[in-house]
Amino acid sequence: MSAQHTPGPWFVQRHQESSTRAITTTPGSAKGDIANVWAGLGSKDVEADARLIAAAPDLLAALIEAKEQYAALLADSLQKSHKHLVEQSPVLVAASAAIAKATGSAS
């Protein structure tokens, strides 16, 4: 599965004289801006929201790797007659749904 998003790492930087945070690929420059996070309706969550968005490429890569490793471990621990249970694991179902949401693919 290849990522179709702007490659990471992504960084958070504060726009001058503003509560807006930019998600950027190039620290200290607006040239690499991916998104802006505003303090709509007085929200105090701008910094936390920006950090979460900036972590998205790393989170997606980690989730894909963790899902693959967990599926392999689970498959190895089950008897052959129970291998179908791997696909039904709630953890793997949730991870697959999150990956599909992030990549726009079918889960």
Query: What is d(CA 73, CA 55) in angstroms, rounded to the nearest whole number?
Result: 26
Considering the entire predicted model, what is its pTM?
0.79
14 CB-near residues (< 8 Å, 6+ apart): 20, 21, 22
Query: What is d(CA 107, CA 94) in angstroms, rounded to the nearest whole number?
Result: 10
pLDDT of residue 57: 93
Reading the chain (107 residues) residue by residue, the pLDDT tens digits are: 455 888 889 999 887 767 788 888 887 776 788 888 887 666 678 888 899 999 999 999 999 999 999 888 888 877 666 767 777 889 999 999 999 999 998 75
pLDDT of residue 18: 72
Q: What is the CB neighbour count within 10 angstroms for residue 64?
A: 17
Looking up tokens 């990549």 gives 103
